[in-house]
Structure 1
């Protein structure tokens, strides 16, 4: 009989296992039963920690956020533009680390207050730069929504870096749309080189915020 003791089952261990499994099966295949099997427990054991799948997704998003913050150093001397660029690059990088990462993050509710510290710091930075609180909220939420939407579409084509879904061959698309030459040529600008397109899009949003509120 083995005397090896397993780590106690807690919310963080379940979320960590779920995130690992997510890369294998995607959001649709991520069931409480599958997670329980991975943990070598019965599914009802998970309901002591999570009342349903959405509660688990909330904890998974929170754990993703913890890891994102740990990997995205934000400096106290950042300008508001630098803060937006750093934070959203970090967010995209974190979401791309998981299959369907953007879908898991979207609409989830953080289970703790870890996000409040970074949010408070960012809002303080923005208001010190001349934004009203309402403008600061609008600026940060708009760039966040851009990044979340961008990665959602990106992962619809490339679920994980280096992996591409069937049906997104740019040359085949151009052949099928030969009667619409501009639309055909646009395929490479839509479905390829996501790193460059993200940076261009984020720069457009940040420049627009500065122009809208007249803050350099």
Structure 2
């Protein structure tokens, strides 16, 4: 990623973290980087492209936190991925819902789906069942974390209790994958 584009996206993300998604405008981002709003366009396009860039940036951050994982066992990798998604939501609560609400805009934005597919492949899920199961797990992770940080998750528990609840749900996902493998 071009250095200037990365600076602009980093500042846009910081702005959303500080003031919320509604506060992000081309003008507000331009002021943060010392440019005019028109000077942003060659680097990030319009506002829609800027939002797509934030999705890309969030996926890159998720990928850098999780990495490829040296563990050969798929179970700890799935648990680590789930926890990393939730941590990303808490790190960027204003921008995180974009992962659920905007389509994957760039190659790195498909990182989560690719990571889930690799985990499911390594678990022994039949190839024809991987896309559906990956979608289901992705929807759970993004939906749960979005609901948690926006307050829209019914019955969500705060603090450690919420973390334990989430870990129990992740354990259920592991069991779901194990059942999918045994059903073959």
Q: Distance in 1 between matches of 2:21 and 2:9?
A: 13
Normalising to structure 1: TM-score of the pair? 0.70
* 1:106-145 equivalent positions in 2, closer than 5 A: 106=100, 107-113=102-108, 115=110, 119=114, 123-124=117-118, 126-145=120-139
Note if 1:56 corresponds to 2:50. Answer: yes
- The structure whose RCO (Cα within 8 Å, separation 6+) is larger is 2
Return the index of the structure with the highest Cα Rg: 1
Extract unaligned runs of 5+ from structure 2.
Answer: none
1:135 is paired with a residue of what secondary structure? helix
Residues 100-120 of structure 1 show CA distances to partners (whole Å, capped at 9, x for unaligned) of 23212222424234756982x
Q: Distance in 1 between matches of 2:103 and 2:109?
A: 14
Q: Distance in 2 between matches of 1:156 and 1:116?
A: 23
Note if 1:195 corresponds to 2:157. Answer: no
Residues 4-51 of structure 1 show CA distances to partners (whole Å, capped at 9, x for unaligned) of xxxx97221110101111111111111111111111211111122233
Normalising to structure 2: TM-score of the pair? 0.81
Extract unaligned runs of 5+ from structure 1.
Answer: 1-7, 159-186
Cα 1:123–1:103 shift into 2, 3 Å? closer
Residues 52-81 of structure 1 show CA distances to partners (whole Å, capped at 9, x for unaligned) of 222111111211222222222443443232
Q: Distance in 2 between matches of 1:41 and 1:16?
A: 15
Cα 1:86–1:37 shift into 2, 3 Å? same
2:20 is paired with a residue of what secondary structure? helix
Q: Distance in 1 between matches of 2:47 and 2:7?
A: 15
2:125 is paired with a residue of what secondary structure? coil
Which among 153, 167, 174 is matched to residue 206 of structure 1? Answer: 174
Contact 1:17 1:39 survives alignment (8 Å) = yes
Say how many residue pairs are matched. 179
